[in-house]
Chain A
């Protein structure tokens, strides 16, 4: 009896010591996150429920006006502008993510099947552009898509755009910019998945009468699913909140939620509306993550990727 008690005490003491030790290691990081992420986020959220003051700063009393404004209710009655921006953000996110997947999948496969010596160089070629400033790269696209450039003239010749219009500003240019910008974030996790592809599963599928297409779908695709889901998370979430690319390539009709929020804190000076937009973004992101998790579970893989 006494022995057991001593053992229990010793054990609980050890647990206490261990947790204290753990706390000390985690504390700096936790403190950083609390001070610079959690507290500002809480402040931002509370701002959304305040009233917009005459100088654009949040004031008391609490109200839901900002959410009404976000839904389109303004001085001049209801307008669909904000909701269209939300819809456009969602559409641009889905479209560009799908396109990124379609472009990245063959690239990642090709690199994984290439000669061992060339793989690092090929991966580097994919990653290096993302080392340059995003704004500069986007300006580069402006030069490529401007009126009179070969791409614009080609589109003109094919009758896709009006003469002398150029390919930007447009929603097309935004999609293009997003796909270009996020490609590395999809290629890398997919490459990792392809690299550790279990070929014997592929052979087993072939052996069990699966045609090449079915072999891909049943034996290759499920194995790359964790990488694919990781890539989707890495691409879709930042794409949804993207500011620079729609700002530079999108023009007035290419605006996304990120621009709407940014404008409320800068030009239009309506902090509560901006905060409400940010909350909307958060909610949409969580819904998206939840949907991904469901899909991942359903397809049987990648649960560890999507929290």
Chain B
């Protein structure tokens, strides 16, 4: 990325090239100036993987500072309502089986699920590229169920980018505006503005087959954004990039969305990506919604075993009996032993996330004192995978294998063969439907 931005924001020529764009914006020059201000920040060269843990903070910040001063978008974000979507391809199982969904204006909304779950079909239905068997699609208050794709104010960033190979970068960017009948002068201004915005101004006259994967990805994004759609649809736009570039563009994309305040609908099969980027996530499986919620809700309070497993490592055990007789706690009988929980819910499956568990080494002399401490499960370390920042354990408890992740705080990490207690916090215990 750093190789492509030849210019830095703020040279006089660049201000000149941006002027016509500002003249067009309802906010006059203010809008164009705020664009130029943000160019430097938006695709930050230093935004590398190491920013991963601070990204939430910085995103919140940029959101705050830009809320009253939006950059590129000159129109309000749109909501989406989906009602009773059904879609079946030929005689196969339903690709979508009764999906109801409501997406808020300005939301970064992710459709997450394994391949074949219907997430891409859902996105294509939003774009109008796929016809519905049943149901209704409302975008920005307008029923677009029967509206063909070229009449929907929705643009897509395709997984394959789908850039026109016979056109230059400039003509690719201008394509949507041209088709919409935007006058040549305004078109050029907006294309130039967008090229600067994504820091690819120097490549504008290249042919797209002369660009790298990351550059193409940005052109695809810019080609969709320059049309200023009501909703931007992104179909696994990062899946073709290598890991380093991918996490960098994740952050850029996230910041961009917050700055634009545009409604993004993002499709991915990568739960990490979904959690990093989304305001809310819809988890799909076999054409139906499993759960809709914020990343934390989805990860920490999964609605069922599928969601729990899909979002990360999960220890799941059957609850064979429950005892509600104590007023302050509920006692659950599981294959691991009896556990005390505070508000576990009424499901029949116990979920223990590996990182909520802890390991305590237990001196051999104490080992006979079975289950003296509440929620201390005696076990033996079977396997340890040391990963530097943390270690992944496989511990045998009452003949059952339990996954535990222990942060490396510099203390002693139990070794294979050690007798340990797996410590479960009562407030972390939740149960799921099967």
- A208 — nearest CB in chain B belongs to which residue? B176
Among A201, A208, A222, residue most surrounded by chain B Cβ atoms (within 10 Å):
A208
B336 at the interface (CB under 8 A from A): no
**Interface stretch among B136-144, B162-170, B283-291, B315-323?**
B162-170
**Interface stretch among A61-69, A172-180, A188-196, A210-218?**
A210-218
Residues of B within 8 A of A (CB): 127-129, 148-151, 154-156, 158, 160, 162-167, 175-176, 179-180, 223-224, 227
A210 pairs with B160, CB closer than 8 A: no
**Docked pose: A200 CA to B160 CA in angstroms:** 8
B156 pairs with A207, CB closer than 8 A: yes
B158 pairs with A200, CB closer than 8 A: yes
Tell whether A201 pairs with B164 under 8 Å between CB atoms, given A206-B129, A207-B155, A209-B180: yes
Chain A residues with CB under 8 Å of B162's CB are 198, 200-201, 203-204
| Supplied contacts A200-B160, A300-B166, 8 more A-B pairs, CB within 8 Å | A201-B165, A206-B149, A207-B154, A207-B156, A208-B179, A208-B224, A209-B227, A210-B150
A219 at the interface (CB under 8 A from B): yes
Chain A residues with CB under 8 Å of B158's CB are 200, 203-204
Chain B residues with CB under 8 Å of A209's CB are 150-151, 176, 179-180, 227
Residues of A within 8 A of B (CB): 198, 200-201, 203-212, 214-215, 218-219, 222, 299-301
A214 pairs with B164, CB closer than 8 A: no
A203 pairs with B166, CB closer than 8 A: no
Chain A to chain B: the 7 pairs with minimum beta-carbon distance, closest first: A300-B166, A208-B176, A204-B162, A209-B179, A200-B162, A206-B149, A210-B179
**Docked pose: A3 CA to B284 CA in angstroms:** 66
**Docked pose: A204 CA to B224 CA in angstroms:** 10
Among A198, A209, A218, residue most surrounded by chain B Cβ atoms (within 10 Å):
A209
B156 pairs with A204, CB closer than 8 A: yes
**Can you list 8 A-B pairs with a CB-CB distance of less than 8 A?**
A200-B158, A206-B149, A207-B127, A207-B224, A209-B176, A209-B179, A212-B150, A222-B166
**Docked pose: A65 CA to B327 CA in angstroms:** 120
**Docked pose: A209 CA to B223 CA in angstroms:** 12
The distance from the CB of B203 to the nearest CB of chain A, in whole angstroms, is: 18
Chain A residues with CB under 8 Å of B179's CB are 205, 208-211, 214
**Docked pose: A184 CA to B119 CA in angstroms:** 43
Chain B residues with CB under 8 Å of A204's CB are 156, 158, 162-164
Chain A residues with CB under 8 Å of B151's CB are 209
B164 pairs with A207, CB closer than 8 A: no
A215 pairs with B166, CB closer than 8 A: no
B150 pairs with A300, CB closer than 8 A: no
**Docked pose: A4 CA to B227 CA in angstroms:** 59
Chain B residues with CB under 8 Å of A222's CB are 164, 166
The distance from the CB of B304 to the nearest CB of chain A, in whole angstroms, is: 34
**Docked pose: A167 CA to B47 CA in angstroms:** 76
Chain A residues with CB under 8 Å of B128's CB are 206-207
The distance from the CB of A227 to the nearest CB of chain B, in whole angstroms, is: 14
B166 pairs with A301, CB closer than 8 A: yes
Pick the residue among B148, B165, B167, B180 that contacts A206 (CB under 8 A).
Answer: B148
B167 pairs with A208, CB closer than 8 A: no
Chain A residues with CB under 8 Å of B149's CB are 203, 206-207
The distance from the CB of B234 to the nearest CB of chain A, in whole angstroms, is: 12
Chain B residues with CB under 8 Å of A198's CB are 162
The distance from the CB of A297 to the nearest CB of chain B, in whole angstroms, is: 11
Chain B residues with CB under 8 Å of A301's CB are 166
Chain A residues with CB under 8 Å of B166's CB are 222, 299-301
The distance from the CB of A115 to the nearest CB of chain B, in whole angstroms, is: 12
- A300 — nearest CB in chain B belongs to which residue? B166
The distance from the CB of B280 to the nearest CB of chain A, in whole angstroms, is: 24
Chain A residues with CB under 8 Å of B180's CB are 209
**Docked pose: A183 CA to B83 CA in angstroms:** 50
The distance from the CB of A50 to the nearest CB of chain B, in whole angstroms, is: 49
- B163 — nearest CB in chain A belongs to which residue? A204
Among A203, A207, A212, A222, residue most surrounded by chain B Cβ atoms (within 10 Å):
A207
**Docked pose: A200 CA to B163 CA in angstroms:** 9
**Docked pose: A212 CA to B151 CA in angstroms:** 11
B129 pairs with A208, CB closer than 8 A: no
The distance from the CB of A5 to the nearest CB of chain B, in whole angstroms, is: 39
Pick the residue among B148, B160, B165, B223 that contacts A208 (CB under 8 A).
Answer: B223
B175 pairs with A215, CB closer than 8 A: no
The distance from the CB of A193 to the nearest CB of chain B, in whole angstroms, is: 13
**Docked pose: A142 CA to B129 CA in angstroms:** 50
The distance from the CB of A116 to the nearest CB of chain B, in whole angstroms, is: 14
The distance from the CB of B428 to the nearest CB of chain A, in whole angstroms, is: 45
Among B128, B156, B162, B163, residue most surrounded by chain A Cβ atoms (within 10 Å):
B162
- A201 — nearest CB in chain B belongs to which residue? B162
**Docked pose: A206 CA to B167 CA in angstroms:** 16
**Docked pose: A217 CA to B155 CA in angstroms:** 20
Tell whether A207 pairs with B129 under 8 Å between CB atoms, given A215-B150, A218-B175: yes
A211 pairs with B164, CB closer than 8 A: no
Chain B residues with CB under 8 Å of A201's CB are 162, 164-165
**Docked pose: A206 CA to B155 CA in angstroms:** 10
**Docked pose: A198 CA to B165 CA in angstroms:** 11
**Docked pose: A204 CA to B124 CA in angstroms:** 11
**Docked pose: A152 CA to B151 CA in angstroms:** 49
Chain A residues with CB under 8 Å of B224's CB are 207-208
Pick the residue among B164, B176, B227 that contacts A219 (CB under 8 A).
Answer: B164
B148 pairs with A218, CB closer than 8 A: no
**Docked pose: A212 CA to B148 CA in angstroms:** 10
The distance from the CB of B177 to the nearest CB of chain A, in whole angstroms, is: 9
- A211 — nearest CB in chain B belongs to which residue? B150
**Docked pose: A203 CA to B161 CA in angstroms:** 11
The distance from the CB of B320 to the nearest CB of chain A, in whole angstroms, is: 51
Among A201, A211, A299, residue most surrounded by chain B Cβ atoms (within 10 Å):
A201
Among B156, B167, B175, B180, residue most surrounded by chain A Cβ atoms (within 10 Å):
B175
Among A210, A219, A299, residue most surrounded by chain B Cβ atoms (within 10 Å):
A210
- A200 — nearest CB in chain B belongs to which residue? B162
The distance from the CB of B401 to the nearest CB of chain A, in whole angstroms, is: 45
**Docked pose: A219 CA to B175 CA in angstroms:** 11
**Docked pose: A203 CA to B162 CA in angstroms:** 8
The distance from the CB of A223 to the nearest CB of chain B, in whole angstroms, is: 8
**Docked pose: A246 CA to B175 CA in angstroms:** 47
The distance from the CB of A298 to the nearest CB of chain B, in whole angstroms, is: 11
- A202 — nearest CB in chain B belongs to which residue? B162
The distance from the CB of A216 to the nearest CB of chain B, in whole angstroms, is: 12
The distance from the CB of B302 to the nearest CB of chain A, in whole angstroms, is: 34
